[in-house]
Chains A and B, each alone.
Chain A
């Protein structure tokens, strides 16, 4: 079993749609959680950190459920520019060891 697992996708949605991605992690000692965005053939870039109480940044909402070891990302009112691969990233403890999910690919169509 992979340490960080994501919906494989791809997700193909029309502009304006709401889409949700799920991520589960197996290491209960994990301390911090992130969503990174990766455009095709580019480097990953931080989209948002995920806090215990859940957090929102514009059209993006991240949720964390420590009991279920589950993280989610909700994108509302999808834009064409949201098309990318979304990587779930989990830190294994209070250290430098970050584990990346394989990513979920999103395509937003006109």
Chain B
């Protein structure tokens, strides 16, 4: 089992460009999450999903969009990249409510916006 996979590993964008960060899991988990981690900081929740077709905003959703058409995939979309979105992005999954269970993370996508 691959667990949680993220693509790409690295990306450099110009201001105003758009891109989609991919996240796929084969753990059959209903709960999926997107976080960003800025240097020297903790992770901040961008969006989350409790199942296919259901998404909700986290702490820092501005500038991002998500969709959840299948259990396995939870892509994160940046429409108009800005330097403030330079960060490491982690996708996470959990089998049940993350408040009481372990969260598993993908290896991350390092994004630089110039």
Mark interface residues in B102-114 (1 if CB within 8 Å of A CB, else 0).
1101111000000
Task: Identify which of A96, A100, A101, A102 contacts B98 (C-beta below 8 A).
Answer: A96
Once A42-B107, A43-B105 are accepted as A-B contacts, the answer to whether A96 and B97 lie under 8 Å apart by CB is yes
Task: Decide if B48 touches A96 in the complex (CB within 8 Å).
Answer: yes
Contact B43 A44 (CB under 8 A): yes
> Is A45 an interface residue, CB under 8 A from the partner?
yes
Closest to B40 in A: A102
Question: In the assembled complex, which residues on chain A have CB atoms less than 8 Å from the CB atom of B44?
Answer: 100
**Cross-chain contact of A4 among B33, B42, B48, B56 (Cβ < 8 A):** B42
> Is A17 positioned at the interface, with any CB of B under 8 Å from its CB?
no
Q: Besides A91-B98, A96-B48, A96-B50, 15 other CB < 8 A contacts?
A: A42-B107, A42-B108, A43-B105, A43-B106, A43-B107, A43-B108, A44-B90, A46-B103, A96-B45, A96-B98, A96-B99, A97-B45, A98-B99, A99-B42, A100-B43
